[in-house]
A = this chain, B = another copy of it.
Amino acid sequence: MKLITAVIKPFKLDEVKAALETFGVKGLTVSEASGFGRQKGHTEVYRGAEYKVDLVPKLRIEVLVESEDADDIIDVIVKAARTDKIGDGKVWAVPVDAVVRVRTGETGPDAL
């Protein structure tokens, strides 16, 4: 199994979620984050003061998936999250050794 993590623009959440559900993903976890990358942040002038803001709000989505679906799901996320503007985010996958569903104790793919 894999854990896919996606850092996306906050307002893209609905679309990404919808796309994942359509694909058949059964669950996911979302948290708030902020980040920077190419989108280096920007300079703001507020009340006469100029300063650099370099962390931009993002959302972080985690989905546990079966290994063979990983590439497709990455694809689905990337398509749904894309705005073609800088700061669209990253998606990555890491290998997972074990997964357990708390309620039932099921493990492995059944637990997803």
Asked whether, in the complex, the Cβ of A82 is within 8 Å of the Cβ of B98, the reply is no
Asked whether, in the complex, the Cβ of B103 is within 8 Å of the Cβ of A98, the reply is no
**Separation in Å of the A19 CB from the closest CB of chain B?**
13
- Residue from the list B7, B30, B34 in contact with A55, Cβ < 8 A: B30
- Chain A interface residue count, Cβ-Cβ cutoff 8 angstroms: 56
- Bound form: Cα–Cα A111–B89 in Å: 10
Chain B residues with CB under 8 Å of A100's CB are 74, 78, 90-92
- Residue from the list B36, B38, B70, B98 in contact with A93, Cβ < 8 A: B98
Asked whether, in the complex, the Cβ of A97 is within 8 Å of the Cβ of B78, the reply is no
- Bound form: Cα–Cα A55–B5 in Å: 17
Chain B residues with CB under 8 Å of A103's CB are 82-89
Asked whether, in the complex, the Cβ of B60 is within 8 Å of the Cβ of A29, the reply is yes
Interface residue A32 (Cβ < 8 Å from any Cβ of B): yes
- Bound form: Cα–Cα A111–B32 in Å: 22
- Bound form: Cα–Cα A17–B65 in Å: 27
Asked whether, in the complex, the Cβ of B97 is within 8 Å of the Cβ of A95, the reply is yes
- Bound form: Cα–Cα A41–B99 in Å: 22
